[in-house]
Amino acid sequence: MSKYLKTVDSEWFRQRLIVVMMCVSMAALVLMTRLIYLQIIKGQEYRRMSLNNSIRLQSIDAPRGVIFDRHGNLLVDNRPSFDLYISLKDARPVDETLGRLAMHASLAEEELTERIAGVRGAAYYRPQLLKRDIGRNALAVVASHGYDLPGIDLQIQQLRNYIHSGLAAHLLGYIGEINSKELQQDIYADSRAGDLVGKFGVEKSLEPYLRGERGGRQVEVNANGQVVRVLQTVPARNGYNVYLTIDSRLQQRAEELLQDKAGAVVALDPNSGEVLALASSPAFDQNDFITGLSTEKWRALIENPDRPLNNKAIQGEYPPASTYKILNALAGLQEGVINENDIIFCPGYYRFGNRSYRCWRRGGHGAVDLNRALAESCDVYFYQVGERLGIDRLAWYAKAAGLGSRTGIELDHEGKGLVPTAAWKKKRFGVPWQPGETLSVAIGQGFNLVTPLQMAVFTAAVANGGVRYRPTLVKRVVSGYGEEILVNTPRVAGRLPVSPATLALVQKGLWEVVQGERGTARIARLKGTHISGKTGTAQVVNRETIEESEEGATTRKYLDHAWFVAYAPSENPQLAIAVIIEHGEHGSSAAAPVARELIKTYLEGAPSAPVVAAGAGEPGNG
Amino acid sequence: MVDRRYLTYFDWGLLALTFLLATIGLITLYSAVMAGVPTPQEALFTKQLIWYGIGLAAMMICLLFSYKLMERYAWVIYGGSILLLVWAMFFGRTIAGSRRWIVLGPVSLQPSELAKIAVIIILARYYAKYVSGRGFTLRSLQVPVIMTLVPFLLIVRQPDLGTAGLIGLIAASMTLFVKIEKRTLSFIVGSGIAMALPMWFFFLKEYQRQRVLTFINPDRDPLGAGYHIIQSKIAIGSGFLTGKGFLEGTQNALSFLPEQHTDFIFSVLAEEWGFMGAALLIFVFLVFIFWALNIAYSCRDPFGTILAVGITAMIAWQAVINMGMVMGLMPVVGVPLPFISYGGSSLLTTMICVGILLNISMRRFMIE
């Protein structure tokens, strides 16, 4: 043995190779045994199973999570829909079967034929959807004629049900069949053609929570395609339930107040950024999208000049008009270009260069200080503040206030707005900034654009002492077993870069707007509480355009947009609001009363009172 | 120039076995792709024929030089294959979430396939140099472990766990073949268990444990791998003794089989040719492997012997794992059946392996 210790020879290798061969033979023996077991011992059974491809997969759909408001009022649930399926392999002759089906259930045969026209290949052996939601009457007929309808299968599917039709339509959104583009995205990796997924609003942005996990079962079927036994089951997991931050009572009130108007309302809790109401008008009925929208209804929606499918609260970008003076005042004070006691004389216009910039009050405000300038919305005062600041300093404060960028709310299609700077104009138009343009921007009337949500967040920051929260719609997400999946906590997006003293001065001015003797929004006063706010009237087009057009200045599309931003109670803000009424003409007359009514509703009502009449909120009430 | 003894010693038997396997493979593939749903995919068959042509050419090239050159250039081959893997990591094409392809004009190659051969060659070189009959100790195993680990980790990253695991198995088989010293072996096995147990009970999360269990037992996933396995078992079992006949397989035709032309091709063969066909294939593989091991034995050069054993281990493991998987004996891993499954890179590797075996076989006189 000892001589082998140093080196190896072929005899050593031969011994090792014999062991290897034994291992290989063992493996071959195992494979052979298995083959005999499968093909000889169990062969007959497997042959029988293969004859009608008897092992099939059936999927178990997971019910989508339901949506509640902040107080647990049900907003969205599911109701059963009875869907007709056909297994073409079992339904032969297909034409005759479809003919009988159409006759029994009073359905259009062409519609059914069309649905299966393109089906071939592997899909031929899987049940194909013929018609969704056939209704209880047709269901009874089809079920009782089952013997006459081979290969026709009824499946119960959960259909989305928006309990208060049209309530919070833009916010809740709707669901629809997944499209081929979505199928390729990673977040839909578990979905397949025909699945219903969120298409708009919270339904879309919270899709990963709301959608459950599909289960399935392996079944053995007989030659007629009927299930003989269930071999294995993987249960589905229900989608998670979502509690929104919305107060449905406030939401409903906001929508009532916007009735027959085009515009938007955003109401926030200024101490957390939670959205209490977010309404856009005109709206639509989400249930129409679930049961299938007729061509006329669809056309009416997309041709309506007031854009009912747009969520104006986040997508609508408007000139901020005089509400921008809040920002201008903050910047001016903080930069020291004005102080609270500086007096500026307003003769009704401000001459700058060779142009005269008008104040909204032709006769002028006379001598105004900061407080009066805000209360009475003196343009001349803020022209001069803007001039002293310059466009880029003003833009810096605007950006710090969250304007010009998305707030990050959990909704798609959010607009960014626009904060103009000298560099921006050079890049966009190739021409330098004109000093006169700063004056327009200073009163919110130049290139600048904001969304109502941005203004609500900014107003909330002014109200709460300077903290800019990221607005949120989601309070918590809870599993079907009550397990907390997500609990949302306030997230600070930034702080207003101003001192407490500066902020206090501006807050005082905003109080004066509503509560002061000569404030522009005295109309918004409420008994028992103090409101602070700022009106705005945004020109839609410049005066030359109106004069050149054939229609008169009173044509609706030329009327100014009305703004009002507010918070209340002034001393201890609980609610921050931004209201815009498109073509509402004056902020004071059109928008301020909306905010007043909303504040009234919010402060009056018991927070947890249910919104709707009993019964309407029961789940499954189809 | 050509030594006439090369012809005398040429291993016609191995070549004949190769052609036999290729023929069985092409017939089965033809059936698998012609039944393709929704339309027959003849193009795949043609492609596979072309790959066989390329494979034959590569095999012949392997005969032109002595396999001993591989010993000398082992590091070059190894380094090159590592570079290719790194290249694929950065510039490779991603298919089905795995970045494992290098695209060269009309063809795409998986460098992980070539890495298998590179690892076999570099390990054969190392073991041939240090093999002693006493067995390798922990210290002398450090180098081969690193040699295996580098391509292994690169392939795990792609991720292609099937190929990575295969490289691990091949390396382990070769190491066992050259003998591991007894105490070292028990240390490795012992520490393996000692590490696996606390990992399983303390470090893995419940869902991870579930995933491992499902991997070992696909029946736990009745909607995924479990469903594939049951359809595969029905296909194989329904072949019965004599099969349903060429192109008559219904499970195959209806696309109930997943990956019927790649990983699950054995079930197509078993369905259409029955026990006779399937048993014949297992038998031919067995003869092929014995033949290759005989080549390893007749070669009187340690490098040649160990190289031949490594190559045989590769083909044998793939065959056993693949057939075990489709018959429901093993976890579902993406390992192709050599010679039979569709796939250019895998076929090219297999043919290069045959070339190396032929090379070792016909040069055995040089040592005698």
Residue with tokens 């409101």: A531
**Shared domain check, B322 and B280:** yes
Q: Is B106 on the interface with A (CB under 8 A)?
A: no
Beta strands in A6-95 (DSSP E): 55-60, 67-68, 74-86
- Whether residue B2 is contained in a domain is answered as yes
- Whether residue B69 is contained in a domain is answered as no
**Shared domain check, B365 and B225:** yes
**Shared domain check, B262 and B199:** no
Cα–Cα distance, B304 to B6 (Å, whole number): 16
**Shared domain check, B118 and B34:** no
pLDDT in tens, A495-511: 999 999 999 999 999 99
Binary contact (B230, A55; C-beta < 8 A): yes
**3-class SS of residue A153:** strand
- Whether residue B125 is contained in a domain is answered as yes
Q: Which of residues 104-163 of A touch B (CB under 8 A)?
A: 120-122, 125
User: Do the beta carbons of residue A595 and residue A250 sit within 8 Å?
Assistant: no
**Shared domain check, B81 and B58:** no
- Whether residue B13 is contained in a domain is answered as no
**Shared domain check, B170 and B26:** no
**Shared domain check, B329 and B286:** yes
pLDDT in tens, A440-465: 999 999 899 999 999 999 999 999 99
The total of other beta-carbon atoms located within 10 Å of residue A5's CB is 10
The CA-atom distances, in angstroms, between A520 and each of A373, A378, B247 are 11, 10, 87
Binary contact (A5, B133; C-beta < 8 A): yes
- B365 secondary structure, DSSP code: G
pLDDT in tens, B317-367: 999 999 999 998 888 888 899 999 998 888 999 999 999 999 999 888 765
Return the C-alpha torsion angle A303, A308, A314, A316, nearest 10: 50
The letter for the amino acid at A112 is L
**3-class SS of residue A161:** strand
Among all residues of A, which ones are annotated catalytic?
A: 322
Final residue before a domain boundary, out of B145, B179, B203:
B203
**Shared domain check, B55 and B170:** no
Least confident interval from A204-208, A502-506, B176-180, B228-232: B228-232
User: Do the beta carbons of residue A556 and residue A549 sit within 8 Å?
Assistant: no
**3-class SS of residue A318:** strand
The answer to whether domain A248-292+314-604 has CATH 3.40.50.11270 is no
Residue with tokens 């300093």: A393
Binary contact (A35, B132; C-beta < 8 A): no
Angle at alpha carbon of residue B227, lines to B226 and B229, rounded to 5°: 65
pTM, full prediction: 0.68
Is the per-residue pLDDT at A73 higher than 80? yes
How many domains is chain B partitioned into structurally?
2
Nearest CA in chain A to B285: A28
Nearest CA in chain B to A12: B133
User: Do the beta carbons of residue B222 and residue A25 sit within 8 Å?
Assistant: no
Residue with tokens 């291993």: B11
Final residue before a domain boundary, out of B203, B232, B260:
B203
- B38: cis peptide before it, omega within 30°? yes
**Shared domain check, B42 and B157:** no
Write the CATH number of the domain with boundaries A56-244. Answer: 3.90.1310.10
- Whether residue B214 is contained in a domain is answered as no
pLDDT in tens, A296-351: 888 988 899 899 999 999 999 999 999 999 999 999 999 999 999 999 999 999 99
Residues of B in Cβ contact (< 8 Å) with A21: 290, 293
- Whether residue B212 is contained in a domain is answered as no
pLDDT score at A288: 86
The total of other beta-carbon atoms located within 10 Å of residue B306's CB is 25
- Whether residue B269 is contained in a domain is answered as yes
**Shared domain check, B335 and B247:** yes
Which tokens go with A469? 């929260």
**Shared domain check, B179 and B59:** no
What's the mean pLDDT when you consider all of chain A? 87
The letter for the amino acid at B29 is L
Q: What is the ipTM of this complex?
A: 0.92
Domain-wise residue ranges, chain A: 2-41, 56-244, 248-292+314-604
User: Do the beta carbons of residue A149 and residue A101 sit within 8 Å?
Assistant: yes
- A121 secondary structure, DSSP code: G
Q: Is B49 on the interface with A (CB under 8 A)?
A: no
User: Do the beta carbons of residue A151 and residue A130 sit within 8 Å?
Assistant: no
Beta strands in A5-115 (DSSP E): 55-60, 67-68, 74-86
- Whether residue B246 is contained in a domain is answered as yes
Task: Give the best residue of B39, B210, B268, B297 to mutate against chain A (max A CB count within 10 A).
Answer: B297
Cα–Cα distance, B221 to B343 (Å, whole number): 27
Q: Which domain holds residue B291?
A: 1-8+20-64+219-368
Q: Is B323 on the interface with A (CB under 8 A)?
A: yes
Least confident interval from A168-172, B22-26, B238-242: B238-242
Is the per-residue pLDDT at B205 higher than 70? yes
* pLDDT more than 70, % of chain A: 92
Q: Is B135 left (phi over 0), alpha (psi -120 to 50) or beta?
A: left
Final residue before a domain boundary, out of B179, B203, B227:
B203
**Shared domain check, B183 and B136:** yes
